[in-house]
Copies of this chain bind each other. A is one copy, B any other.
Amino acid sequence: MRGMANAQKTYELLVKRLKELGVLDSVGAVLGWDERTQLPEKGAEARAEQMSLIARLRHEMFTSAEIGNWLGEIEGSDLVKDRESDAAVNVRETRHSYDRAAKLPSSLVEELTKMEVLAQHAWVEARKGNNYAAFEPWLAKTLELKRQQADCYGGGAKRYDQLLEDFEPGETATNLQRVFAELRQELVPLVGAIAQSGKEAPAEILERKYPAAQQEKLAKIAAKAVGFDFAGGRLDVSVHPFSTGIAPGDARITTRYDENYFGDAFFGTLHEAGHSMYSQGLPAEHFGTPRGEDISLGIHESQSRMWENLVGRSRSFWEYFLPIAKEHFPEVLKDVSLEQWYFAVNDVKPSLIRTESDEATYNLHVMVRFELEQALLSGDLPTKDLPAAWNGKMTEYLGVDVPDDARGCLQDIHWSGGAIGYFPTYTLGNLYAAQFFEQAKKDVGNLDGQFARGEFAGLLGWLREKIHSQGKKYRATELVNRVTGKPLSAEALMRHLKKKAGELYGV
């Protein structure tokens, strides 16, 4: 066993290198943000070159033998004896990603990055033109490269799990299938009971005329109110809303404004603000190292869904915020009561678009994608048959008819960006969010009372302490256990959904 002093020196070299890699990643994030919000049409090819070069340099720098040697040296020292120390966390998680990255050839990394940029541009056009045929070859090529990637990791029969590992470390398709089945077992009857309740939310309230400029003002007020720091962030417009925690002091979110629908931009902004508040709460002094990074996409999504749904669709939130909304849309909202509004923003109804769907049926959208992407990756589902399979599953799970591919299998950006194994983290996020939120209510006290007064610092402070400031100290499953005292289950989410359904639909 090497002495602490030597290991400490080696660890400092490792941290310095990781921080450089973090900076390089943040450069990639700027390019990605710009690509999706600013890039002129003719600049796509050059942007693909830029992003693939940065990805290649990053990959080469990270997979250098030196890092492997440093890790080996520190792993054999007392420096990592306390498994919760910063050093132990950084070494454990760097080893995990190092071993995976070292298995990917630079050429594949570069090819994947370049292809993702081009495929995303193809997707934007295909979606705009409702032209799946134009996108299909890009999807096929994406899947081919993702299979190669999975096989590099040592895939074979477990290709999907190998890709999932990039988004939700430690999770497996088998386990997800089990959890999702449990959820579905309770969710489908609930959605059915709601449909048969005879009660209808006054949905048309949200479909009145909401000018984009006023929506933007309101979205900014809401994001600021819940705690998004605009001095360290921005809100812009993009086709597919996203958030990106570029670097300390630079977390950016986007939304899109539909003048005939209130919900899209408003709840989308709360959602992305939830993501970015996680970024803004990560310990900046550890930037670039795992100790300063988010845990997983599922945990990230728990933050966005909490602010979007558990806060943003609560009655107490609107006790505070409806008067503010009325100041921005005085004519449109003058006859709307809190009860009507609360019901409208909690309308449960099977629909076509995932990002516009309600808290309950949202998870059925995710299940459709989860099953289809497994079949696409294995090759059981040829890409040309995707639209038919999509439409079939949507009818089976949600009972809706898909009128065209733009509102069907072309609606999401994910697959065009190479994100296979990403969708299930959305439902994981809903499950985590509900379980965390129940605990926050116990720990912080009367959250609803606070929300009704426009006070969100109690919840945000709790999240900062329990989750954000921890970085990657714990894996997701362990964090949930530590924070809530129990393993993840569908119980908290179902309690929440049933309670609201009881209130609004009497079921």
Contacts and interface: CB of A to CB of B under 8 A. Distances in A.
A272 to B, nearest CB: 15
Given A30-B30, A42-B232, 11 more contacts: A23-B49, A26-B50, A27-B50, A40-B230, A40-B231, A40-B252, A41-B249, A43-B232, A46-B248, A49-B247, A50-B247
Nearest to A52: B23
A20 interface: yes
A286 to B, nearest CB: 14
A39 interface: yes
A247 B232 CA distance: 28
Contact of A42 (B30, B49, B250): B250
A275 to B, nearest CB: 16
Interface of A: 20, 23-24, 26-27, 30-31, 34, 38-47, 49-50, 53-54, 57, 229-234, 246-250, 252, 287
A247 B43 contact: yes
A20 B247 CA distance: 25
The oligomer's copy count stands at: 2
B53 A20 contact: yes
Contacts of A54: 27
A430 B165 CA distance: 60
A233 B252 CA distance: 22
Contact of A39 (B24, B38, B250): B250
B23 A53 contact: yes
Contacts of A39: 250
The 5 closest A-B pairs by CB, nearest first: A42-B249, A43-B250, A46-B247, A42-B232, A43-B249
Contacts of A26: 46, 49-50
A45 B234 contact: no
A101 to B, nearest CB: 19
Contacts of A50: 23, 26-27, 30, 247
